[in-house]
Amino acid sequence: MHILLVNPRPPRAGTSFTRIRTLTLPSVAAELMPRARVTVVDEVVQALPAGPFDLVGISSDTPHAPRAYELADQLRARGQRVLLGGTHPTAVPDEAMAHADAVVVGEIEGLGDRLLDDLEAGALAGVYALPERPSLDALGVPPVDLLPSYSQRFQPYPVELTRGCRNACRFCFNKRIHGPGFRRRPLEPVVEALRARSERMVLCMDDNLMNDPEHLAAFAEAIEPLGLLWGGQSTLSVADDPELLRLLQASGFCWTFLGLESFTPGSLAAEAKAFNHTARYGEQLAALRKHGVMPFLGVMLGLDHDGPEVFAQTGRALEVLAPAACAFTMPVAYPGTPWHAEVEQQGRLLSCDLALYDGHHAVVEPLRMSTEQLVTGYHRLARSFYGWRPALRRLSRNLQPRRNTHRAWVAASFLAVTQGYRRYHRKIANA
């Protein structure tokens, strides 16, 4: 059996900010490979091979769903069997079934044999799901080398320590695929793989590195002798544990993405994110910098408590915090979530075009400003934040701490990320 796995291209050409290897398709491949030959293709950088294949699997989130459906329809018109999976088909399997022979709901582990038995018997059909999300206790290391090499210079090796998240922020889509709570995976195979690989940069794909601080500390201790540089997504509580910060610094942990989301306590409470304390942002980022960790922030504009003043207020706060980078987004009510149903019922859903559900388009009508104010303010703030003059001021802040052990890396990655975001925001503003 030969199976093709596809990562569909983004809806508008050129709006892919950067390509990095992720674990999604390698994890699917690992589940199928004992019995099938698997080829992985990323449409952003590769053309689809001619085929035919015994099965084509396409994984997509919500903004990539229109392309996934288009591709699935084209392939099925040529007689090709198609399987859809990923966060969007998981959330709305009935919609996805209109474009596929079968849909995987949730994670793939534990479903491979049933899928392949049905495929061999010519009986692949319907929705495949486990009653609960699978245990990760026996999880191996996915075959990342099946993915294309996106860049010779920046090619971090992706790993995961946990799946899911202990928190439940209202806007977050991760629960759709991973279910409530989080699960740990065994660390030994990951550390073993890192010891054997040539990559010195590692990207931890976890939704929240602070799911289990003890598990994180054990990983940091295990990889300390390997001389790696690594980072991943966390919550601000990582800054409140000096001993953990010391272990992380010694292990080469040098950046973290933090979803601050807002400087308005009311908006944080409405998003079930009151564990972020606006008054403590400054001291928490200072603690990270002191330990050589460069903070990347996520900020959402147009939340239910945000009025037109939010743009100036956020700009001033970011000037003080001086993060290395900031991902600005507008709220997205993802189909299949309770919030989507709520917003739809309120008549606040501005578009059903899934390609616009990428955080860079207004798809939910704001409560305290007009949609036009939101879109204009969003682009203006992103443009001014990524101007070179404020960017260079932030660079000097991020290089300041004497204990920052990776100054060259900080400078190079800071400049690359700033340039990447500048280009990206120009593109999406004109798209």
DSSP string, 249-299: HHHTEEEEEEEEE-S-HHHHHHTT-TTS-GGGHHHHHHHHHHTT-EEEEEE
Question: Is residue 172 within the footprint of ligand SF4 (CB under 6 A)?
Answer: yes
Q: Which of 167, 249, 251, 264 binds ligand SF4 (CB under 6 A)?
A: 167
Cα 427 from chain centroid? 20
Amino acid at position 201, single letter: M
Select the residue interacting with ligand SF4 from 44, 169, 349, 399 (CB under 6 A).
169
| 337 scored as a contact of ligand SF4 (CB under 6 A) | no
Considering only 38-46, 74-82, 101-109, 163-171, which stretch makes contact with ligand SF4 by CB under 6 A? 163-171
- Phi, psi angles (nearest 5°) of residue 300: -105, 135
Binding mask 246-265 for ligand SF4 (x = CB under 6 A): -------------x------
Binding mask 214-233 for ligand SF4 (x = CB under 6 A): --------------------
| Smallest separation, CB 171 to ligand SF4 (Å) | 7
Q: Would you say 165 or 364 has its CB closer to ligand SF4? A: 165
Nearest distance from residue 166's CB to ligand SF4, in Å? 7
Say if residue 124 is exposed, middle or buried (CB neighbours under 10 Å; 0-12, 13-18, 19+).
Answer: buried
Does 237 engage in binding with ligand SF4 (CB under 6 A)? no
Neighbouring C-alpha atoms within 13 Å toward the C-beta of 361: 20
Please say which residue, 127 or 169, places its beta carbon nearer to ligand SF4: 169
Q: Note whether 165 binds ligand SF4 by CB under 6 A.
A: yes
- Closest to ligand SF4 by CB, 71 vs 238, is 238
The angle subtended at Cα 162 by Cα 222 and Cα 421, nearest 5°, is 95
**For the window 180-209, what string marks contact with ligand SF4 as x by the rule CB under 6 A?**
---------------------------xx-
8 A C-beta contact, residue 164 and residue 181 = yes
Q: Under DSSP, is residue 339 helix (H, G, I), strand (E, B) or coil?
A: helix
Query: Which of residues 125, 168, 269, 411 is near ligand SF4 by CB under 6 A?
Result: 168
Under rule CB under 6 A, residue 138 binds ligand SF4: no
Q: State the residue for tokens 């602070």.
A: 210
Nearest to 246 by CA among 269, 228, 225, 220: 220
Distance, C-alpha 161 to centroid of its chain: 15
Least distance between ligand SF4 and beta carbon 169 (Å): 3
Whichever of 273 and 406 has its CB closer to ligand SF4, that residue is 273
Q: Tell me whether residue 42 or residue 271 sits nearer to ligand SF4 (CB atom).
A: 271
CA–CA separation, 73 vs 67, rounded Å? Answer: 10
Rounded Cα gap, residues 103 and 89, in angstroms: 7
Task: Output the smallest distance, CB 6 to ligand SF4, in A.
Answer: 26
CA distance 374 to 370: 6
Complex with ligand SF4: residue 274 or 392, whichever CB lies closer = 274
Q: Which residues bind ligand SF4 (CB under 6 A)?
A: 165, 167-169, 172, 174, 207-208, 235, 259
